[in-house]
Amino acid sequence: MRGQDIISIAITFIVGIFAGAYLYLTGAAAYVTDFVSPVKEKPVEFVIESEAYGSCGETCPSFRVDDDGSYHYLYVPPDATEPVVRKGKLLGYLNNKLHRVITKEELARQAKKTTPGICNYRNGEIDVRYRITLDGKEYVLDSCGTAVDENSPLWRTLSDVWDYLETGVDS
C-alpha cells in the first residue's frame, strides 16, 4: 500500500464518522431517545378546586383558586343554557384568610373518609367537594363522605369563597 492510499482511507474514515454522527444527531436520535425538557415544572404548592353536585345536575357550578388568589368560576347563569367562565382575583383579605385557615393538619383531619348519615344530594339539595393541593399533596373534602366540620374556620372560609364567587359581594 502506498502512502497516498493510506491518506485516502483515513480521510474517508474521518468523513464517514462525521457524516454518521450528523445523521444520528439530526435524524435517528429523535426516534431512539425521549425528549426531556430542560425546563423543570414548578410543583403545585396551593390550589383549590371545588365542584357542587346534586340537584343542580348538569348546571352545577365549580371553581378553581390558585395560590395568588386568581380564580376561574364556571357556572350557568339563570335563563341561560351554556356555561360561563368568570375569571378574576379574590379579594386580598379573603385570599389571606384561605392561606391562614388551610393547614395540613386541618385538611388531614377533615379529609378522613366517613360513612355519612344523610347526604344533601339525596334529598334534592346540593353537596360540595373540594380538591385542595397544599405543598404538592392533594386532600379531598366532601360534604358527603369525609369528616368535614361545618363550623370550622376552614369550612366557613370555603363557604365565603363560594358566596363571593356566586354574588360578587363579600359576606
Note the pLDDT tens digit of each residue in 34-90: 445 555 555 568 999 999 998 888 888 999 999 999 999 999 888 888 888 999 999
DSSP 99: H
Per residue in 151-164, pLDDT (tens digit) is 999 999 999 999 99
- The residue ranking higher by pLDDT, 28 or 15, is 15
Rounded to whole angstroms, how far apart are CA atoms 110 and 96? Answer: 20
pLDDT confidence band for 25 (50 / 70 / 90): low
Task: Give the pLDDT score at 49.
Answer: 95
Non-local CB neighbours of 106 within 8 Å, separated by 6+ positions: 152, 154
How far lies 24's CA from each of 10, 20, 35, 107, 169, in Å? 21, 6, 15, 52, 62
Contact 98, 48 (CB under 8 A): yes
Counting beta carbons within 10 angstroms of the beta carbon of residue 161, is it exposed (0 to 12), middle (13 to 18) or buried (19 or more)?
A: buried
Average pLDDT, the chain: 84
Q: How many Cβ atoms sit within 10 Å of the Cβ of residue 66?
A: 17
How far lies 60's CA from each of 4, 67, 69, in Å? 84, 24, 22
> Cell numbers at residue 164, please?
363571593
Query: CA 170, 144, 161 angle in degrees (round to 5)?
Result: 10
Task: Give the pLDDT score at 96.
Answer: 94
Task: Give the pLDDT score at 73.
Answer: 94
Contact 50, 63 (CB under 8 A): yes
**For the whole model, what pTM was predicted?**
0.70
